[in-house]
Structure 1
Amino acid sequence: RLVKDMKIKSLEEIYLFSLPIKESEIIDFFLGSSLKDEVLKIMPVQKQTRAGQRTRFKAFVAIGDYNGHVGLGVKCSKEVATAIRGAIILAKLSIVPVRRGYWGNKIGK
């Protein structure tokens, strides 16, 4: 609601005040087309039941713009497509800023 009313103008304000991101559309609003997602792994997981095994698929997705924001999402579902879709949404909700720079001084020694 704060984003829609333009009270929050950037993603950095959300991180500055430690506000929770509860909707993936907030990330779409700020980062939009610069976001790239990559499916890292899809693995079948099984649960033993009395009738046999129940197979579900676990999807790991990394998402980020190539400008200091990255997120990881993990989702388990009966179908691969829904697992990937859910993992992308969870990855958007878990996006964090990445501090970049060089802190070492071992060059030339």
Structure 2
Amino acid sequence: MNVRQDKKDLINDLQQRYQYLFHSVYPDDIVSFEEETGMCSGDFYMFFTLVAGSLSYVVDNKRIPKRQLKVLQQSFEEQYPQIKTFQHILESYPLLHSYVQYNEETRKRIIALIQ
């Protein structure tokens, strides 16, 4: 497969992810996770919004602002290192955990496309 086809496939994948993220609701588990761990639920919302917002720029063929791109280049764990302490608890919330992973994978694919 050539580079051009790889890029087209990546764009198609990101467009599908865009549809999923904008038509899905955040997992209700965020509040329960916050109550159990004390980790601010806003951290999750900020990360999900960063990924979805950045994805909207990509789908609309626009340039992601530099400050936003700088933050986007950091993983969820890099942005919110306290999650490492609660990783085993996060895994006990399968819907929230999978949503974080989906956003993290989407973030990586955005970075791969624009590099």
TM bucket (normalised to shorter chain) is under 0.3
Larger Cα Rg: Structure 1 or Structure 2?
1
Q: Which structure is higher in strand share?
A: 1
Query: With structure 2 as the length reference, what TM-score do the two structures score?
Result: 0.22
Q: Which structure is higher in helix share?
A: 2
